[in-house]
Structure 1
């Protein structure tokens, strides 16, 4: 067989092989055997591959799989995103019962919003057994808090709950006191305006310990109890809502005591990726 006939046979074989690749699952943008076809034609063997090229393809496949797994972490059903309407220039959340509702300085709640499923979790409170509004949480969050306190007890950690649900008007009073004591600028860094407080959602609880005299203080984060909470809150579906070093993102100072319920799956992703709720929603994709 002449050289040109052999070359024609080889090229025809490669063309047939390429046409069959549509039935394979390929990495995006990388045709089957693309890196080896020119070399195969020169050698007259469409099945010859270089070992180094095979390693490169494996690495590409690995990167594609890893990227897909990371993206999957941030797939979130559409009802978990804020639905917003503009009222007097303010963005007001229309689906506040959503457990992932992102309440902050940009998105707020109606002044008359009160969760319908508030209950008192069976945990120890810093003020004892008094039946007062701040002892309440939404049912799912209350159950999760009970789980968190149980996990803590198993590790010989004593936690006490301090402040859960707050109404719009209760938050107004707290802000006014802080403003009177420290001035408006500092008050805005430490206390949410009414309607912008997570406590109104019934999904947030402040916690403390005897090691800081049952106070709400950033020193709690340096105690064994505070460190335990930081490392384990996600196991019950909570996140540290205002972490250290993320003040420019959350808009608030570091609060190691402020726990926010978001659900087990989302809490795990936020914890493992060291995100704030704002950063999580920047990555989240609706499904």
Structure 2
């Protein structure tokens, strides 16, 4: 009886000790709300990039520097002639020449500013290198003048073989090529007949015409030596098969002659000796004789339907107001 009591008491004591130990362990353990350390991510760490990265949704503690982009010029931008944002300069847009600009252009080439008198009192022109030179019966070239840049334009001629009269000054020759190219495109058959003539050649021509027709008639249809535009290298006589490639007034009534009168100025030429202006030019109407003077001035003269003499008179009056 006593042994059972003792055994039961021992078991009870042991049970109480176990319960007491568990209670102590629970009392001193860490709270369940303690932060949990996240396990390392299995995703690879991105390598640094020289390019700016996109900020996370929360935003970085310091502002991210963005690259400064230079503005670019679109291919469709129209050239303005001013520096572009990238520093390049586009070719300027060619604007139409205004009358005021033409006046300024010709101011230095006015006839009254460009001459000298020889020992005989004749007026000798001095702006021989200019496209705006005025040569007529009152204003002459010297007997020794020869243009320095004579060349043969690549156009069809009414005759074969080489000849000085195939020549023109270079700028005029290039303009003649442009004129003939446009004529061919419009199915107009033109041929060059006579360009540059020296002082000596013109002297021979005038003398021959004078012997055949008399000096008075010859003076209306051909120039005296020194008074011919052909010596400047800026003039060319043009004809067509419909006129027999002759230099005759009826050329002006042909399809080719009408086309020439309408389109010559587009390439820098004027019909120098107009119909009804004989008293001003001193020469009969010559629809075949074209004179190079540059596109802007040629168009202005043609639109005004005046002679080169009248045109310069107007410019002179404007400048000298």
**Bucket of the pairwise TM-score, normalised by the shorter protein:** 0.7 to 0.9
Deviation at 1:113, TM superposition (A): 0.1
1:121 and 2:153 equivalent? yes
Deviation at 1:70, TM superposition (A): 5.8
Deviation at 1:71, TM superposition (A): 5.6
**Distance (Å, rounded) in 1 between the aligned partners of 2:129 and 2:267:** 19
1:205 and 2:247 equivalent? no
* Structure with the greater alpha carbon radius of gyration: 2
The answer on whether the counterparts of 2:193 and 2:238 sit within 8 Å (CA) in structure 1 is yes
Where 2:108 maps in the other structure, the secondary structure is helix
The superposition leaves residues 145-202 of structure 1 with CA deviations (integer Å, 9 ceiling, x where unpaired) of: 0000011111110100000000000000000010001001101101100000000000
Partner of 2:136: 104
Q: Select 2:287's aligned residue among 232, 256, 260.
A: 256
Change (3 A) 1:73 1:115: closer
Partner of 1:56: none
**Distance (Å, rounded) in 2 between the aligned partners of 1:280 and 1:224:** 28
The answer on whether the counterparts of 2:106 and 2:132 sit within 8 Å (CA) in structure 1 is no
1:4-153 alignment runs, 5 A limit? 74-82=103-111, 83-87=114-118, 88-128=120-160, 130-153=161-184
Q: Structure 1 or 2: larger helix share?
A: 1
The runs of at least 4 aligned residues of structure 1 exceeding 6 Å deviation read: none
**Distance (Å, rounded) in 1 between the aligned partners of 2:243 and 2:304:** 29
Normalized against structure 2, the TM-score is what?
Answer: 0.66
Q: Select 2:262's aligned residue among 231, 245, 265.
A: 231
**Distance (Å, rounded) in 1 between the aligned partners of 2:319 and 2:181:** 34
1:183 and 2:214 equivalent? yes
The answer on whether the counterparts of 1:77 and 1:286 sit within 8 Å (CA) in structure 2 is no
Deviation at 1:79, TM superposition (A): 3.3
The superposition leaves residues 100-136 of structure 1 with CA deviations (integer Å, 9 ceiling, x where unpaired) of: 10100110000000000000000000003x2210000
The answer on whether the counterparts of 1:80 and 1:99 sit within 8 Å (CA) in structure 2 is no
Partner of 1:18: none
1:166 and 2:197 equivalent? yes
The superposition leaves residues 227-261 of structure 1 with CA deviations (integer Å, 9 ceiling, x where unpaired) of: 00001100000000001011111110000000000
**Distance (Å, rounded) in 1 between the aligned partners of 2:267 and 2:237:** 15
Change (3 A) 1:277 1:77: closer
Where 2:217 maps in the other structure, the secondary structure is helix
Partner of 1:39: none
Deviation at 1:81, TM superposition (A): 2.6
Number of residue pairs the alignment of both structures matches? 218
Structure 2 residue runs without a partner (length 5+): 1-97
Normalized against structure 1, the TM-score is what?
Answer: 0.73
